[in-house]
Amino acid sequence: MSNYSSPVRDPLIEGSKSYTDITEDICGPVERAPRPLFFLALLVSGAVALMGVACILYTIWMGIGVWGEHKTIGWAWDITNFVWWVGIGHAGTLISAILLLFRQKWRTGVNRSAEAMTIFAVVCAGLFPLIHMGRIWDAMFIFPYPNSRAGEGILNLRSLWPNFHSPLLWDVFAISTYLTVSVLFWYTGLIPDMATIRDRTKGFQRRIYSALSFGWQGTARQWQRFESISLVLAGLATPLVLSVHSVVSFDFATSVIPGWHTTIFPPYFVAGAIFSGFAMVLTLMLVARKIMNLEEYITVSHVESMNKVILLTGSIVGVAYLTELFMAWYSGSTYEQAAFMYRATGPFWWSYAAMMTCNVISPQIFWIKSMRRNLTVTFIMSIFINIGMWFERFVIIATSLATDYIPSSWFYYQPTWIEIGIFIGTMGIFMTLFLLFAKFAPVVAVAEVKSILKSSGDQYLAKYEAEDRAANEPYLQGTREGSLAGLAPRHKDDQP
């Protein structure tokens, strides 16, 4: 009879932390002056953001004729960037909500970054449809306005939706709903931590955090309501993510253009959003981990768990790519087959190759455990995956439009420096917002980290492992000697 004791999980909190240490380590960077590395990162991201704002203003002033679009390719970098940012944003709240519903303890190191990523990515995504309209001052027409022809009196309050059949309006509904739920979910989790900072600060800073904490006192009733509302919002956010990104995919799937008119797009877009979202969360986590000195709370175990999900979702995306190719062949449609042949072997072959390499081939390195736990490899791979997901959207949009049913209108799209500047500028806006958030709010959830300390702290896990080894020793010794001691209980708690 052999004895086997399940190995203890890797600690999620390192450094033998106490509750006071957790508060000091996570809230300290918020209360103190930032490190020079933080100022350097903020300076670089701020400069890139200003460049992007300048390109946006130039586009508004001159018109979208400064872009490389054409009558054939009316959607190009602008809508590619929109779908890419929406995909990244939709994954953040989904990651946090699903991990909360399944009670995953490693959620504590990633949930705050993921939720903040959602807010800032959706802000960046919302810029592109407005700019793409060409006349941004006409953006009011995507909202209902009073219909003065409806009649007299109270009937004048009726509203008119002039573009209800437009995919642009669908996106307004989807993104605004998702942004509202995401902000509520994100800020609900922040309230206890805002109260913690309030109690540690003085003067003007204390008044600011007092207002932000909404009178939180940490009573049993408040914690009960906090848990309830968190679960309710997580339950709302999870199906909402699936529906919202499905609506974004309908922008393409409801058309008759070869390469777009396919029923696989809703699940395909959702899987791709989760895939790119996890990669972006990893990028942000590793940056925050270094700049904010949080290596003991965002551990290698967190990174490994994230890489496992990336490996799974990357495989799902790969299956979706192969399914698209199979259905194009199986459909027997000459136009559908030609569209996919053009993607792989036409003038845009390089973008298709980059998509397949970054999204399908490169994540397979995470089958190796040492690679999953290597921070340098993980950071590089997170960048590769987001590059690949951008090329996926570019392949879907640009190559499908470049060759329509009339060969005389075929067109090879090339972006202008204005389009490139706007895209890079939104990255600067995104990172600037994230760094400012990391400065003025805890980037790791203090209350949730404390809740798992005694089950996932390294000092407690080491203590349990030592106790378990000591309790098992009589059993092992008895087994070796063949005596009745082999029937001894494995652990002191197993005594009747």
Residue 474 binned pLDDT confidence (cut-offs 50, 70, 90): low
- Is the predicted pLDDT of residue 471 greater than 80, yes or no? no
Cα–Cα dist 205/199, whole Å: 10
- Per the CB < 8 A criterion, the answer to whether 362 and 318 are in contact is no
- Is the predicted pLDDT of residue 165 greater than 80, yes or no? no
Min mean pLDDT across 301-310, 402-411, 484-493 is at 484-493
Model confidence, pTM = 0.82
Average pLDDT, the chain: 81
Place of tokens 């459909």: 331
486 or 79: which leads in pLDDT: 79
Q: Output the pLDDT for position 381.
A: 92
- Per the CB < 8 A criterion, the answer to whether 399 and 346 are in contact is yes
Q: Tell me the longest C-alpha to C-alpha distance in the chain.
A: 99
Q: Output the pLDDT for position 473.
A: 62
Q: Output the pLDDT for position 496.
A: 38
Place of tokens 């996932």: 456
Interior angle at CA 78, CA 436 and CA 353, nearest 5: 100
Min mean pLDDT across 13-17, 18-22, 306-310 is at 13-17
Average pLDDT value for residue range 89-105: 81
Cα–Cα dist 290/276, whole Å: 22
Instruction: Give 81-122 as a 3 state SS string.
Output: HHHHHHHHHHHHHHHHHHHHHCCCHHHHHCHHHHHHHHHHHH
The two tokens of residue 175 are 């993104």
The single-letter DSSP state of residue 295 is T
Average pLDDT value for residue range 182-194: 89
462 or 312: which leads in pLDDT: 312
Q: How many beta carbons lie within 10 A of that of residue 408, not counting itself?
A: 6
The single-letter DSSP state of residue 35 is P
Residue 442 binned pLDDT confidence (cut-offs 50, 70, 90): confident
Helix (H, G, I), strand (E, B) or coil at 335: helix
Place of tokens 């979702």: 313
Cα–Cα dist 449/425, whole Å: 34
Q: Per DSSP, what are the bridge partners of residue 145?
A: 160
Nearest to 142 by CA among 117, 113, 171, 181: 171
Average pLDDT value for residue range 356-377: 91
Min mean pLDDT across 5-14, 179-188, 410-419 is at 5-14
Helix (H, G, I), strand (E, B) or coil at 71: coil
465 or 294: which leads in pLDDT: 294
Burial of 385 (0-12, 13-18, 19+ CB in 10 A): buried
Q: How many beta carbons lie within 10 A of that of residue 364, not counting itself?
A: 13
Range among 125-129, 136-140, 340-344, 367-371 with highest mean pLDDT value: 367-371
Cα–Cα dist 257/441, whole Å: 46
Cα–Cα dist 283/471, whole Å: 43
Q: Which residues contact 302 (CB under 8 A, 6 or more apart)?
A: 12, 106, 109, 110, 285
482 or 87: which leads in pLDDT: 87
Q: 145 φ, ψ to 5°? A: -130, 155
- Is the predicted pLDDT of residue 77 greater than 70, yes or no? yes
**486-491 long-range CB contacts below 8 Å, 24 or more apart?**
486/1, 490/3, 490/5, 491/467
Q: 97 φ, ψ to 5°? A: -70, -45
What residue ranges define each of the domains in the chain, with the CATH number in brackets?
21-149+156-455 (1.20.1630.10)
Cα–Cα dist 105/246, whole Å: 29
Cα–Cα dist 303/374, whole Å: 9
Q: 77 φ, ψ to 5°? A: -65, -35
Q: 13 φ, ψ to 5°? A: -135, 120
Range among 41-55, 210-224, 332-346 with highest mean pLDDT value: 41-55
- Is the predicted pLDDT of residue 278 greater than 80, yes or no? yes
- Is the predicted pLDDT of residue 487 greater than 80, yes or no? no
Q: Per DSSP, what are the bridge partners of residue 13?
A: 457
- Per the CB < 8 A criterion, the answer to whether 285 and 223 are in contact is no
Interior angle at CA 452, CA 294 and CA 239, nearest 5: 90
395 — alpha (psi -120 to 50), left (phi > 0) or beta? Answer: alpha
